[in-house]
Amino acid sequence: MDSGIITALVTLSAIGAVAAVVLYFIAQKFKVIEDPRIDDVTDALPGANCGGCGYAGCRAFAEAMVKEGTMEGFFCPVGGNDLMKSLSPLLGVEAVEKKPQIAVLRCNGSVKNSPAKYNYDGPKNCTFTHTLSSGEGGCMFGCLGGGECVDACDFDAMYMDPETGLPVVKDNCVACNACVLACPRDLLELRNRGPKDKRIFVACMNQEKGGPAKKNCSVACIGCAACFKVCPHDAITMNNNLAYIDYEKCTLCRKCVEVCPTDAIHEINFKPRPPKAEVTKGDEPKKAPVKKAVVVEEGAAPAPRPAKEPRAESTEVAIEKPKATSTTSEKKEENKSENQNNNQ
């Protein structure tokens, strides 16, 4: 009995010892030398694995950054500039500042603006309806309203507006690019957040000539180039009957918005303009260059911005101002704010 126990003990210990030695050598032999910084950086990243940086996940992003030894061309849209700055001591390189961005929908073909030309019966899915025909509104470039972008959003920053049938980007968008990739018609674009989340863009992607474009949608860009002519900063380019505003050059002067005959250019989070003093107002941002303003104001707060403050401000004014003065621009004003709400 006793000897049995002893034999067992000895055998087991021997097996254990041999296994330990073997394991040790194997571990030595197949050791993967990994930069410890990869783990550190991965831990610092948000861990959302959204793919917004262009890599498969947070760890892949960290690996690539450590391997390259630079932060140039690397940016985590979720963490923003704050995070990138905090990573710079870990990596020992300078962080590259990037302006915070937000996705915008470049279409305003709501149910009202672009009424249905036929009765679609089938699954509401953009990928499918895109191959089936031009789309219910008849526009070959417009939003199909299937909500694939909303499904792609990991940050609850989008929803479908049941009234317009269009997706809406909320202010907590982190610009991860998922919706941009999801849209089969390439309607979503990441644009710089202006000061106080102000942004101006052409809410249309229709490349047809004015006539056919207008036939399908009352707020289509008809390629009249009025905005192109009026822009003092050469920020607007015309291509295939479609205006495009370069957000790097745009100073948010709002001149283009005024001249657009179809209200295809949207301004968001602006104070409704006072009726007469437009010109001076419009010039203001020119004096204070936007880039600087962005860095100063936005650079410190890249995380989801509190959406309420600027909104509340703008709506308050919106209620007051038009009442004070009743000019012809009042109707346009209302239209605008409606469009803003539709599209924002």
Partner 1 sequence: MLKTFRIGGVHPKENKMSATAPIEVMEHPKRAVVPVSQHLGVPAKALVKKGDFVKTGQMIAKGEAFISANVHSPFTGKVFKVEETLDSTGFRRMAVIIDVEPDQWMEGIDLKTEIKRDIDLSPEEIVKKIHENGIVGMGGATFPTHVKYMVPEGKKVEYLIINGVECEPYLTSDHRLMLEKGEEMMIGIAILMKGLKVNKCIIGVENNKPDAIALLKDIALKYQGITVEPLKVQYPQGGEKQLIDAVLRRQVPAGKLPLDVGCVVNNVGTCFAVYEAVQKNKPLIERIVTVTGKPVKKPSNFLVRIGTPVDMLLSKAEADVEASGKIINGGPMMGKALVTTDVPVTKGTSGILLMEIAESNRKEEQNCIRCSKCTTVCPQGLEPHLLKVLGKRMDAEACEVERIMDCIECGSCVYTCPAQIPLLDYIRIGKAKTGAMIRNRSRK
Partner 2 sequence: MSLLVVSGSPHVHGDLTTKKIMWGVVYAMIPALLVSFYFFGMGAVKVVLVSVVASLFFEWVITKYLLKQKPQITDGSALITGILLAFNVPSNLPVWIIIVGALVAIGIGKMSFGGLGKNPFNPALVGRVFLLISFPVQMTSWPTPIPMFKAPMLDAITGPTPLGVVKEGLRNGESMESVMSQVPDYVNLLLGYNAGSLGEVSALALLLGGLYMLFRKIITWHVPMSYMATVLIFSGILWLVDPNAYVNPLFHLVTGGMMLGIFYMATDMVTSPMTPVGQIIFGVGVGLLTIIIRVWAAYPEGVSFAILIMNAAVPLLNKIKPKRFGEVVKA
Residues engaged in binding partner 1 (CB under 8 A): 117-118, 121-123, 125, 127-128, 131-134, 138, 140, 208-209, 212
Q: Which does 116 bind (CB under 5 to 8 A by kind): partner 2, partner 1, none?
A: partner 2
| Distance separating alpha carbons of residues 101 and 25, to the nearest angstrom | 51
Cβ–Cβ < 8 Å for 182, 151: yes
**120, 170, 184, 281: residue in contact with partner 2 (rule CB under 8 A):** 120
Q: Which does 111 bind (CB under 5 to 8 A by kind): partner 2, partner 1, none?
A: none
Q: Which does 140 bind (CB under 5 to 8 A by kind): partner 2, partner 1, none?
A: partner 1
Q: Which does 212 bind (CB under 5 to 8 A by kind): partner 1, partner 2, none?
A: partner 1
**132, 295, 312, 319: residue in contact with partner 2 (rule CB under 8 A):** 132
Which CB sits closer to partner 1, 45 or 220? 220
C-alpha separations of 82 from 36, 38, 90, 220, 275 in Å: 22, 19, 14, 39, 39
**10, 18, 116, 295: residue in contact with partner 2 (rule CB under 8 A):** 116
Cβ at position 162, least distance to partner 1 in Å: 21
Cβ at position 215, least distance to partner 2 in Å: 16
8-state DSSP, 201 = E
CA angle (164 as vertex; 163, 168 as ends), nearest 5: 105
Tell whether residue 211 is a contact of partner 2 (CB under 8 A): no
Tell whether residue 24 is a contact of partner 2 (CB under 8 A): no
The two tokens of residue 96 are 């590259």
Q: Which does 138 bind (CB under 5 to 8 A by kind): partner 1, partner 2, none?
A: partner 1
Give the total of residues touching partner 2 (CB under 8 A).
Answer: 10
Cβ–Cβ < 8 Å for 125, 146: yes
Cβ at position 105, least distance to partner 1 in Å: 21
Q: Is 131 exposed, middle or buried (0-12, 13-18, 19+ CB in 10 A)?
A: exposed
Cβ–Cβ < 8 Å for 109, 137: yes
**57, 112, 128, 168: residue in contact with partner 2 (rule CB under 8 A):** 128
Which CB sits closer to partner 2, 109 or 302? 109
Helical packing angle, 36-44 and 80-91, nearest 10°: 160
| Distance separating alpha carbons of residues 212 and 342, to the nearest angstrom | 23
| Distance separating alpha carbons of residues 323 and 3, to the nearest angstrom | 103
Q: Which does 292 bind (CB under 5 to 8 A by kind): partner 2, partner 1, none?
A: none
Tell whether residue 121 is a contact of partner 2 (CB under 8 A): yes
Q: Which stretch binds partner 2 (CB under 8 A): 105-113, 114-122, 162-170, 228-236?
A: 114-122
C-alpha separations of 62 from 32, 87, 275 in Å: 17, 10, 52
3: CB partners within 8 A, 6+ apart: none
Cβ at position 135, least distance to partner 2 in Å: 10
C-alpha separations of 1 from 4, 8, 14, 15, 72 in Å: 5, 11, 20, 21, 72
Distance of CA 275 to the CA centre of its chain: 32
The partner residues of 191 in beta bridges, in order of sequence, read: 102
**4, 92, 122, 162: residue in contact with partner 2 (rule CB under 8 A):** 122
Helical packing angle, 58-68 and 36-44, nearest 10°: 130
Q: Which stretch binds partner 2 (CB under 8 A): 94-102, 121-129, 171-179, 214-222?
A: 121-129
**Residue with tokens 């009424």, as numbered in its chain:** 115
Which CB sits closer to partner 2, 119 or 239? 119
Cβ at position 120, least distance to partner 2 in Å: 5
- Point out which residues bind partner 2 (CB under 8 A): 116-122, 128, 132-133
